[in-house]
Amino acid sequence: MSWSKFKFNCRILTTQLKHGKSRVQALETIEDAKSNFPFNKSKIAALPTFLFSRMLDLEDDKKLAYSAKLYSQLDFHSSTFDANQRKRYRNFQIYLTWLFIVFVLVGGIYRHHVLPNFEAVYAELEISVSASLMTMDSIWLSGIFLLASALLITFILNHFIKKVDNYIIKPNKSRLFRIIVPGKIRRQIDAIHQLIMAPLASNGTPITQSINWLEANQLNVAEEINAMILEQKNILENDIEKRMGWYIALVFLLIIFLIYELVNVMYLPIFQLGATI
């Protein structure tokens, strides 16, 4: 079910139940609408299906109608993570992948094809091999390990960012999630989750008390929830961007250091031979 289909179904439920139709009749109307209003099947998502299923689990038809009305007015795009940020982090991952491949290939070609020739020249000229040159293997292998680790971490972080919208609807309780995601970000995700699930919340919970207060003061509940979701989402995005910014800066410093060390050890034989000859 796409988000547009989800909201369409919510509007049907609201209208049907408001006019005294039963839940079964409302669902039959939704089924009838499938042939008359075909929605884009390429945008089918699991989350709206999950939410709609949770709505239908409500036993009270009044609560169902109320939830459907609220969900039909909520702007789910306000809770969606910024696509531009996702693209930027994905581009960084692609860049790091290519850099890793180039680092492995250049270092490997030098180690297995160029360095042996230098060693042969050293032996022919009876020049002792520099101790720094002997660190080629350790620099190259250490670089591979560090870049591979950075690449793995980047894949994990990008996977989290890709799935953050899912976690907002269905929080991830796995141990890995708790390890890689800071507590502040987890709390922000949970706050947005509570707001999105507010129409389904049981009576007496803090979020329903907030909704009751809004209604008592004649405020538009959907507008206020949308505003709160947008605010929390902006805080979440800013926090993720700040932390990713520090991580990317750290990786770039690592890259600069590894390239410097590799180039330094690669040019060392040339400088040493030049000084000897």
Per-residue pLDDT reduced to its tens digit, 47-82: 788 888 888 888 888 889 889 999 888 877 655 666
Q: What is the mean pLDDT of residues 79-108?
A: 82
Query: Whose structure tokens read 């939830």?
Result: 67
Two structure tokens written together for 234:
């902006």
CB burial class (10 A; 0-12, 13-18, 19+) of residue 271?
Answer: exposed
pLDDT band at 109 (very low <50, low <70, confident <90, very high): confident
pTM of the model: 0.74
Q: What is the pLDDT of residue 120?
A: 74
Q: What is the mean pLDDT of residues 156-175?
A: 81
CB burial class (10 A; 0-12, 13-18, 19+) of residue 5?
Answer: buried
- What single DSSP character describes residue 167? H
126 or 157, which is more confident: 157
Q: What is the pLDDT of residue 39?
A: 66
129 or 269, which is more confident: 269
pLDDT band at 23 (very low <50, low <70, confident <90, very high): confident
Using DSSP, state whether 153 is helix, strand or coil.
helix
Q: What is the pLDDT of residue 274?
A: 62
86 or 220, which is more confident: 220
Give the tens place of pLDDT for each residue, 227-240. 888 888 888 888 88
Q: Are 74 and 196 in contact (CB under 8 A)?
A: yes
Segments making up each domain of the chain, as ranges = 3-73, 83-276
Q: What is the pLDDT of residue 19?
A: 87
Residue 166 has pLDDT above 60, yes or no: yes
Residue 122 has pLDDT above 70, yes or no: no
Residue 132 has pLDDT above 70, yes or no: no
pLDDT band at 44 (very low <50, low <70, confident <90, very high): low
Q: Which of 190, 169, 196 is nearest to 178 (CA)?
A: 190
> CA of 231: how far to CAs of 116, 152, 188, 195, 224, in Å?
61, 31, 10, 11, 11
Q: What is the mean pLDDT of residues 33-42?
A: 69
